[in-house]
Homo-oligomer: A and B are copies of this chain.
C-alpha cells in the first residue's frame, strides 16, 4: 500500500486531536522535568524520537466521541503516553535492543541501569497525573493496565525461544503486553465522562482488538517490512529468538526438516548468514505472513463492530480509519 493512502487513514484522527495533542505535548515536556539532569535527557531522547503517539490520540478521540466536556482527558492521555514510554524503556533493556525508531536506544547511550530507573520515574509521574485528575474509575483502568502489561512481558520472556508456543498462548501474550494499553487508552475516556457501561465496554473492546491487530502487523513487518521506514531492522525478532505468529505458523505448517531449522535458529540461537532469508522464504511457502495479516484484519473487523453502537460522527469515522491505518501500514 502506498504512503499516501496510509497517511490519509490517519489524517482525520490527526485533525480531530491536533489542538489537544499540543496541550499533551506541553504536559509531557513539563512532567519529564526533574532536577536530576539525566532524567529529562533520557526521557526526551525517546519522547522526541517521532513516535506517532497513537495511544494518547485514541484517548482524545474517544473523549470527543462521547462528548466529554471537561479537561481531564488531556492529563489522562499524557499519562497513557508516559506509561507507554516507560514500557518501551524497560522493553529495550529486556530485549537488549540497540535501535528503536531508527535511533540508538536510550540504554545504548545512558545504560541499562538509567533506562530501568527513568522508566520507573515516568511510571510514577503517570500515576501522579492520574491522581491529579482524581477519577478512581480511570485510576482503576490504568493500574490494571500497568500490572497486565508487566505480566504480558514476563509471559513473553518465559515463551522466548520456545517453538512449542501455541497461537493461543501467543495471543494471550500480545493481549497483555500490547492490547491492554490500547484498550485502557480508549476506555478511560467514557469512564472519565461517566458514560453508560455499554459505551465503556464498546471502547474497551475497540481498543483491545485494535491493539491485537497493531501487534500482529508489527510482528509481520519484522519479517516483511522495509527496514529504513520501520525504524528498526527486519529480522530483529528472529535474531532475538522471539516467538511471534509468523514463526508459530511456519513451524506448525512446516516439515520435520523445517522444524529443525526453526529449532536451530530460534531455540539454539545458532544463526548463520542466509538464515533470515531462508526464514522469510519458509514464511512465504506457508503463507505465514499472509495468515498473520488475515488475523490482524479479523481483529480489525471486531474493533470496527465494537464502535457500531455509537451514532455516526466525524470522531467515529476517524476511529474506524485508524483500524485501516494499523492493518495496512508498512512501517
Contacts and interface: CB of A to CB of B under 8 A. Distances in A.
Given A94-B117, A116-B94, A146-B120, A127 B153 contact: no
A147 B125 contact: yes
Contacts of A142: 127
A37 interface: yes
A94 B121 CA distance: 14
A281 interface: no
Dominant SS among interface residues on chain A:
helix
Contacts of A114: 154, 157
B113 A150 contact: no
A143 B128 contact: yes
Interface in A82-129: 90, 93-94, 112-114, 116-118, 120-121, 123-125, 127-128
B158 A146 contact: no
A149 interface: yes
A22 interface: no
Contacts of A38: 154, 157-158
Interface string A155-189: 10110000000000000000000000000000000
> Interface size class for chain A?
35 or more
A147 B127 CA distance: 9
A93 B150 CA distance: 17
A39 B144 CA distance: 16
A131 interface: yes
A144 B146 CA distance: 17
Interface stretch (A5-13, A133-141, A301-309): A133-141
Nearest to A96: B113
Nearest to A144: B128
15 contacts: A36-B154, A38-B154, A38-B158, A39-B154, A94-B113, A94-B117, A113-B157, A117-B157, A121-B147, A121-B154, A124-B150, A125-B147, A127-B146, A127-B147, A134-B136
A268 interface: no
Given A116-B90, A117-B90, A118-B150, A155 B36 contact: yes
